[in-house]
Amino acid sequence: MASLETIKLPDIGVSGKVEIIEVLVEAGQIVEAETSMLTLESDKATMEIPAPKSGKIVELLIKVGDQVGTGDPIATMEVATESAGESAPAAAEPAPAAPKAEATAATATPVAAPADLNADHQCDVVVLGAGPGGYTAAFRAADLGKKVILIERFEKIGGVCLNVGCIPSKALLHVSGILNETREMGSHGITFAEPKIDLDGLRGFKNGVIDKLTGGLKQLAKQRKVTILHGVGHFASANHIRITAADGSQSTVQFEHAIIAAGSQPVKLPFIPHDDHRVIDSTGALELADIPKRMLIIGGGIIGLEMAQVYASLGSKITIVELADNIIPGADKDLVRPLLKDIKKRYENIYLGSKVTGVTATADGLDVTFEGKSAPATDRFDRILVAVGRAPNGRKLNLEAAGVTVDQRGFIPVDARMQTNVPHIFAIGDIVGQPMLAHKAVHEGKVAAEVICGMKSAFTPITIPSVAYTDPEIAWAGKTEDQLKEEGIAYEKGAFPWAASGRSLSIGRDEGLTKALFCAETHRLLGVGIVGPNAGELIAEAVLAMEMGADMSDIALTIHPHPTLSETLGFAAEMAEGTITDLLPPKKR
């Protein structure tokens, strides 16, 4: 027997109407449940709408270009029905799933769960933390057929990166770059009036970017049937996580596999009054509460320098103090040099080889004492940003209840499959070690999900790129020149100055440099460093080249478009092999 049913658009997590951009089925077609019927496009994402059940499409009630919303009829479908006697056996079929859970628990040999733990939720895979690594792992596991629960302590998913890190900082750096560029156009014959800063408008722009991305993620989770639970999660056993919501209520999740993606937090210095509202971390800096007259940034790493650029462009007088003898200690000095030269002109002070030894909060400001070869004994500031690094959250999750090993610093040791010492519990992202980068976590998340689903997958990158989104940007991947020297590896270098790049000169930015490092014996690419506008975009070619085992000739013979900044990598390879014609070759082969 069959019945005629009207298929309506399910809740897609979007208010109002969205446009149909593609119809994927036709009248008379027999479709299975979950077959994609339509493609919709909102201002946040495109999404496919699946058939809720199997049957025959009798009539389509929509067409491409129509605007539809939740509950609107989209088709009529002929659906097979069964008698009560026939349907009874089908209802009993899911029962064999229990032995599967038992087998998983037996092979994993986890710490025994307390007998009195009652679960409010059950799933195949639970992911603790909804940052880029966490939501990627959750989505990948769901795509591979797993029932997934994603736990996030904050209201919006996306983690530090989307909400108070990578994305909002880049939105503000974009504005900062425009402000700086307009001020520098006088040398090109164009002068702009000094811009008016509307902090409310600037915060609105930043928050709009965040809302669009986090809203899109929520929508993608819903489409994949990933359940999001909000609250702080702690392990109660090797198969249970207890969640405490913002209102204090608690619930428990029982799982077969877990992926820990709980990230990291800013390091706090014990001698600084962090309870004073004038002392902020990166999260506080991104809130843009005001524009302080004088701002001290403790830490000359990437986060500190990016925030320094934002506040300096808005009008703050910036002082940076860094314990090392150079800013961005992980990068080669020749890459850092153009940035350091520039910010020495823009900022009030830069104290290298120096440190803060104390901070006293007074009504008139924050009184700071220094030690170091270039720093004064004392100075007073209106605001202090502490940007001395991040610490993993491994010791905040009660992992001992699950038997998971955590080292003294809070990192969770894992293997190439992202497995912890407890086989059915995985960990990814900042919490498993350096580098603490979102793009590393994303790939680790995919690996963890795939291994759980029985795939042969491992996290074995040749290199992970690093980028400082300053002005100029600095990007590097593979071995740095300092590392090659320390490890005693013989290498050949090709360095191309952007002062010889037509594209660089045409945009008034000749301070850049592209450097390529090759094995002296095999000529295989070992590392690349770039400083200049868009260095973060340009480094991707070098990463791919290293992953594919490219050598000097492969890169030199690759035809790059002209005039572009991307061709400077090809020129650097030509410098190394002595075939460059845009400059005098340093040597001939």
Dihedral of CA atoms 544, 547, 550, 555 in degrees, nearest 10, equals 10
Is residue 588 a known part of a binding site? no
299 is in an annotated binding site: yes
Annotated binding residue at 526? Answer: no
The reply, when asked if residue 280 is annotated as ligand binding, is no
Closest CA to 344 of 320, 328, 367: 320
Q: Is the previous residue joined to 110 through a cis bond, with omega within 30 degrees of 0?
A: no
Instruction: Confirm whether residue 28 is marked as ligand binding.
Output: no
Distance, in Å, from the CA atom of 286 to the CA atom of 164, rounded to the nearest integer, reads 7
Q: Exactly one of 174, 424, 523, 562 is catalytic; which is it?
A: 562
Q: Answer yes or no: are the C-beta atoms of 573 and 555 closer than 8 Å.
A: yes
DSSP 8-class letter at 419: B
Q: Is 150 annotated as a binding residue?
A: no
Task: Confirm if 394 and 410 have CB atoms less than 8 A apart.
Answer: yes
Q: Tell me: is residue 575 an annotated ligand-binding position.
A: no
Task: Let me know if 523 is a catalytic residue.
Answer: no
Beta-strand (E) ranges in 11-83?
18-23, 30-31, 36-41, 46-50, 55-60, 67-68, 73-80
Residue type, 134: G
CB 525 within 8 A of CB 517: yes
CA distances for 472 relative to 177, 387, 532, angstroms = 10, 20, 5
430 annotated as ligand-binding: yes
525 is in an annotated binding site: no
Three-class DSSP labels, 436-449: CCHHHHHHHHHHHH
Q: How many whole angstroms separate alpha carbon 19 and alpha carbon 41?
A: 6
Is 439 annotated in a binding site? The answer is yes
CA nearest to 110, candidates 401, 306, 517 = 401
Q: Is 437 within any annotated ligand binding site? A: yes
Q: Annotated binding residues for NAD(+), as ranges?
A: 299-306, 322, 389
Q: Annotated binding residues for FAD, as ranges?
A: 170, 233, 430, 436-439
Q: Annotated binding residues, as ranges?
A: 170, 233, 299-306, 322, 389, 430, 436-439
Q: Which residues are part of the catalytic machinery? A: 562
